[in-house]
Amino acid sequence: MTNPNSPYIVYPKPVKHMVFLKNFIHNPNITIGDYTYYHDNNYPEHFEFNNVRGGFFCKLNIGKFCQIATRTTFILDDMNHDMSGFSTYPFAVFGELSHYTAPEEKGRPTIIGNDVWFGTNAVIMPSVKIGDGAIIGAYAVVTKDVAPYTIVAGNSARVIKQRFSDNIIEELLQIKWWDWDYNKITRNLESITGCNISSLRNAI
């Protein structure tokens, strides 16, 4: 019998609007951490096909405990066209052009930290890195890296504010509560969801 607290539970809620994403990923270039969920009233199981653009040879890494709202989209680097020539058209789509050598397949990964919250319809552009604890506003278009525990919003996304002081953020990044086991996390929920760093520190 599957542990009811396992990240391998498919639907964490009785209604099937939310899924633990790692159970629905087939592309080896996409990795999803434990307890990261996607919420969508229409087939959240189809996240890999509806919300990720690319992934043919570029990687998307999403950490643990991320919260991904409806229609959040990740555009990976292999969706970019080569801009070094006179045309950006990918002529390799014509199979009979055997003499044509397509640009080398390469691209930088998109890396998402842990405990990141994505608002509805957020768009994450290629090769972006988003730090732990960041918040991405609804309808934001993220074109640049986002520092840990920073809130961004808008198109293109701009920094709204830093969630905590530099000292607190540094300590949170060292504590890494998301790497604790499930029982330790649940025992310390008040410390994790509160803003008492000394209490969280003592939980280590």
- The upper half-sphere exposure of residue 102, i.e. CA atoms within 13 Å in the direction of its Cβ, equals 15
Mean pLDDT of 70-90: 91
pTM over 0.75, yes/no = yes
Q: Using one digit for the tens of pLDDT, what is the confidence trace for 141-167?
A: 999 999 999 999 999 999 999 999 999
Q: Of 43, 48, 2, whose CA–CA distance to 22 is shortest? A: 48
- Please list the residue range(s) of the chain that carry CATH number 2.160.10.10: 18-163
Mean pLDDT of 172-177: 97
Interatomic CA distance for residues 142 and 80, integer angstroms: 16
Active-site residue, 17 included: no
Q: 18-163 — its CATH code?
A: 2.160.10.10
- For residue 2, the model assigns a pLDDT of 47
Q: Identify which has the larger pLDDT, 90 or 154.
A: 154
**Residue from 26, 46, 81, 99 carrying the catalytic annotation:** 81
Interatomic CA distance for residues 121 and 154, integer angstroms: 11
Mean pLDDT of 57-71: 97
- In this structure, are strands 150-153 and 158-162 parallel, antiparallel, or unpaired? antiparallel
